[in-house]
Amino acid sequence: STHEAGRFGATEIGDEAQEVVLVVILDTKNKINAIHRVFTGSLNTSVAHPREIFRSALLNNGARILVYHNHPTSLFLVKNGSL
């Protein structure tokens, strides 16, 4: 579910001191094939090229991807309907 996906992202990168782009590659049954930290930036900057995101998915035979990005300088709040 989207709530489970949101909790997973918050658990993985929610407390990072730097901005992070994380890609989770799923199979056809929505099971995790791989988790890749595509980019780690600075306190307030993160640049990840789509090529890097899709490369991870292709190399790991992904059927679906989840892409996570954090903002360490602000509070992490999930509002109903925002996921």
Task: Give the model confidence (pLDDT) of 4-19 as tens digits.
Answer: 998 999 899 888 888 8
Q: Report the run of H or E that residue 4 belongs to, with start and end.
A: helix 2-13
pLDDT in tens, 35-57: 999 988 776 666 788 898 899 99
pLDDT of residue 24: 96
Cβ(14)–Cβ(58) under 8 Å?
Answer: no
For the entire predicted model, the pTM comes to: 0.77
